[in-house]
Homo-oligomer: A and B are copies of this chain.
Amino acid sequence: MTDQDDTPQTGITVSKEEDFSEWYTQILTKADLADIRYNVKGFVVYRPWATISIKKMYRKYEDLLEQNGHLPLVMPSVIPERNFQTEAEHVEGFAPEVFWVSEVGSEGERLNERLALRPTSETALYPMYSYWIRSYNDLPFKRYQSCQVWRYEGKMTRPFFRGREFHWIEAHNVFATMEDAKEQVKEDMQMTYQMLQDEFCIPIIFFQRPEWDKFPGAVHTYAADALMGSGKVLQLPSTHLLGQNFSRPFNVSYIDEDGQEKYGYITCYGPAISRIYGAMISYLGDDKGLILPYDLAPVQIVVVPIIFKNKEKIVLDKAYELHEKLKETYNIRLDDSEDSPGQKFYFWEMKGVPFRIEIGPRDIKKEQVVIVRRYDGEKFFVKEDQLEAKLADLASKYTKELWKKAFIDFESEIEVAYEIDSAKEAIENGKIVACGFCSIDKDGERCAEVIEKDVGAFVRGKRVDEEKHDFATCLVCNKPASCTVYLAKSY
C-alpha cells in the first residue's frame, strides 16, 4: 500500500482536554481523515486513512452479524412517499429530516411521486418482508445491509459524528414471538459490547431510553452510550424493539403451525460505523494524534532508519532487510524519505501506527532494534534475532492492553443525587448522576425538561444491566420513583 497523502505536517497545536473541538478539527486535517471543503453543507469526504479503518470496522461487524445468522442484502436507496407514510409515528419522526428526490433530467421534469432518500429502511424493507415471509418455517428471518443514509440535520454537523449523509449497518429481524424478539435485542447488545469494547476500545453502557427519546414507531429503544470521560456521553448503536407496530401496517405476517395467520415481531439494530469511527478516534486519540486498535490501523509498523553521515548505507540496508523480513506478516511501511527522524516520528504518531521500529548505527553494532509502542510511548530494546517473537507478542496484546487503558468503570463515574442542586453540582464536576425518577413513560417528560434546564443534563434512561441503586422519590417532582435513571451531558 502506498499513501500519497503523506506530506509532513506540523503536529496538533492544542490539548485535547482543553479544547476538544479544535483538537478534533486539527486531527481530521493533520492525519488526513476527512475534508470539510466539499461544497454541500453537512456532507464531507472521507479520505483514505479513515476509509481504510472504516472498511475494516465494517468487515468485523458484518462477519459477526453473519456468524449470528444475519444474511446481507441490498435495498434501493430511495423510498416512495406512500411507503414512507404507512406508519404514523415513523413518518412524523422522520419527515422533517427527509431529502426528497422530486425532479429528473435536464428539464427538471417532476416525478409523479416524490422519492425519499432513505433516512432508515423500515418502510422500504417491510413491504418486501411481507412478500418473503410466508410461514413459521421462515422465522426467525434475519437480514442486514451496509449502506449510507441521509438525514437533513438542522443541528451543527461534525465530520463522522453527525452529518447529513452517514454510513451504517442496519439489521432488521422478524420473529414469531415477543420473547424471541427480546432475545434478539439482547444479542444486539452483546454484539455491541463485543465490537465497541473488545474491538474498538470504546467503553459503553446500555440504557433503555425514555418514551420521549425512542425511535419513532418503536415499543422500546435500547441505546449504547459511550462514556467519553468527564461525565460526557455520546449515543452509539441502538437496537429497537418494534413489536408489531410495523408488521401490522406493512402486513408482515406468517402462517403458524396451527394454520392461523399471525403478525411477526420485529427488531431493528443500527450501528452507525462512521459515527463509531468518530467516537473511537476522539476517545482514544491523544495530543500527538491518532491511537487506533491494532487491527484497524491502515499501517501497523513503520520502520524508521536513523541515518548519520557515512553510515547511511549500512543503516538503510538493515532497514530494507527488516522490512523485507516482516512484510509478509505485517502491514509495514519503511519511511526512507528525506525527512529527519524526528519529523518521521511525529508524522507516524499522528497517523496512529501501533509500532515504530528504529534502527541506527549503534543498534546495528549491538545487533538490536528499538520498538516504540504508540499508545504509551514505551520503548523495547530487542535483540535482532528475537525481533519477530517480540513483535508477535506485542502485536497480539496491543488491542487488549489499549482497552485496559481505555476502560472506564461506569460505577466510578456515577454520583448519586437526591436534589436538583447536588445533581447540578455533580454534573458540573464531570460526573454522571444516578437519581430517582417518576416515570420514563410519556408522563415523565416534564420532569426531564426540568432536568435539562436546571441540571444541564439529559435523562439517558434506565440501565439495562443490573441496577443497584434504589430511590424512593423522583428527583424533580418528589412523586414515588418508578425507577433509577442516569443524567449526563451529551455530545
Which residues of A line the B interface, CB within 8 A?
1-5, 7, 35, 37-40, 43-48, 51-52, 54-55, 66, 69, 71-80, 82-83, 95-106, 108, 114-115, 117, 124, 127-128, 131-132, 134, 137-143, 148, 150, 152, 165, 167
Contacts and interface: CB of A to CB of B under 8 A. Distances in A.
A105 B7 CA distance: 42
Contacts of A101: 99-102, 117
A54 B73 CA distance: 10
B95 A105 contact: yes
A108 B83 CA distance: 17
B99 A45 contact: no
A101 B165 CA distance: 13
Given A4-B141, A48-B73, 4 more contacts: A38-B127, A39-B82, A48-B71, A105-B152
A165 B71 contact: no
A82 B66 CA distance: 42
Contacts of A124: 38
Contact of A73 (B2, B46, B128, B139): B46
Contact of A78 (B40, B55, B71, B143): B40
B75 A128 contact: no
Given A72-B52, A73-B48, A105 B114 contact: no
Contact of A143 (B48, B132, B152): B48
B77 A165 contact: yes
A73 B100 contact: no
A276 B139 CA distance: 32
Contact of A102 (B4, B83, B103): B103
Contact of A43 (B7, B52, B78, B96): B78
A357 to B, nearest CB: 23
B71 A1 contact: yes
A76 B35 CA distance: 11
B165 A76 contact: yes
Nearest to A154: B105
Contact of A152 (B73, B104, B140): B104
A286 B39 CA distance: 49
B95 A74 contact: no
A435 B78 CA distance: 45
A248 to B, nearest CB: 19
Contacts of A51: 71-74
A100 B98 contact: no
B44 A72 contact: no
A108 B100 contact: yes
Contacts of A127: 38-39
A138 B4 contact: yes
A74 B103 contact: no
B37 A131 contact: yes
A481 B2 CA distance: 45
B38 A76 contact: yes
A46 B66 contact: no
A364 to B, nearest CB: 30
21 contacts: A1-B66, A1-B71, A2-B71, A4-B138, A4-B139, A7-B134, A7-B137, A35-B131, A37-B128, A38-B76, A39-B83, A43-B78, A48-B71, A52-B71, A77-B165, A96-B106, A98-B104, A98-B106, A102-B108, A103-B114, A105-B152
A40 B73 contact: no
B45 A74 contact: yes
A148 B108 CA distance: 22
Contacts of A103: 99-100, 102, 114
Contacts of A7: 134, 137-138
A152 to B, nearest CB: 5
Contact of A69 (B2, B100, B106): B2
A2 B140 CA distance: 11
A445 B35 CA distance: 43
Given A96-B105, A101-B100, A128 B72 contact: no
A141 B2 CA distance: 10
